[in-house]
Structure 1
Amino acid sequence: MAMSGLLQELRCPICLEFFNNPTTLPCEHTFCHSCIQGTLVAQGPRCPECRATFLQDQLRPNRILRNMVDRVHTELGVGTCPKHQECLRMFCVTDQRLTCVVCRDAKEHYGHVFQPISEAAATSKEELNMALGFLLKDNSALKKLISLQRLEIQKTKV
């Protein structure tokens, strides 16, 4: 299996991000804990993949998969939390910094808004592209003004 295919296996089929607290159902399908909890509330106790029913107390953390995701994050250069030595998986919009899952759940971040890192990066990229568009437009307008100024200077010299 190619490396990109292997990395794909470490992604949650619901949010499409690397697993965050991977949780396995009795049917052996795995999802992020928060994703399966959201699905449980929205759609009831059915596996999003195979529709098999389950009880909430049948959810099990998948530590092996979590260790694999942590290892991939380390190999890919994803940072670790200096407080908890956990992978930085979330972006605290309120504080504008990367956090681990333990920090996210801590008292100091109570009520803060969080995004997966990839979502925060996409948002930042959109904002930067918009700013770049405005700058390019302004630059173009300034170049036109400079050209007009040069023409006026040439006319006054003649």
Structure 2
Amino acid sequence: MGQRWRAVGVLAIALFAVNVFARLVIRFGFDGDDTVADRVSLGMFVVIGLLLAGVAFVWGARRPLARWAGEVAAAIGIAVGLTVLVGPLLVGDNPFAGGGGTFFAQIGLYLVATTVGAMLGYLLLVTLGRDHRSRSLQRYAENTAAKPRRVVRR
């Protein structure tokens, strides 16, 4: 059980670290330039999506979807909470400085980026036939084909 929560925590911290890095780049490198800040934010969302695509690809090959999807959802929930509440404080801003619309738009964009990333990683895994379910069905088919049917004499 501890291993599951450790993996969730590490993933949440990794997602939060990407956000903190992007905030620090915007704050110290391009403070006041909104076009560059938008590009850095877009890059952050792409990196977060790619990170989750990789996690979904690796975890989906090893474990059933029902098991790892909950862990990824928990990590995303923790990361989005840290991102919108703690992230702005690290660079000297107020989480609600832009108003409610900006606050909820940030949550929405984060959830869209993470969901799309995880779905793309898992869909690629399924397309390649390397997901847990496809591999277990393949093993079942190989086992049933390898053993001839026993004839019962009465």
Query: What's the TM-score once normalised by structure 1's chain length?
Result: 0.28
Which structure features the higher share of helix residues?
2
Q: Which has the higher contact order (CA 8 A, sep 6+)?
A: 2
Could you say which structure has the larger radius of gyration?
1
Query: What's the TM-score once normalised by structure 2's chain length?
Result: 0.29
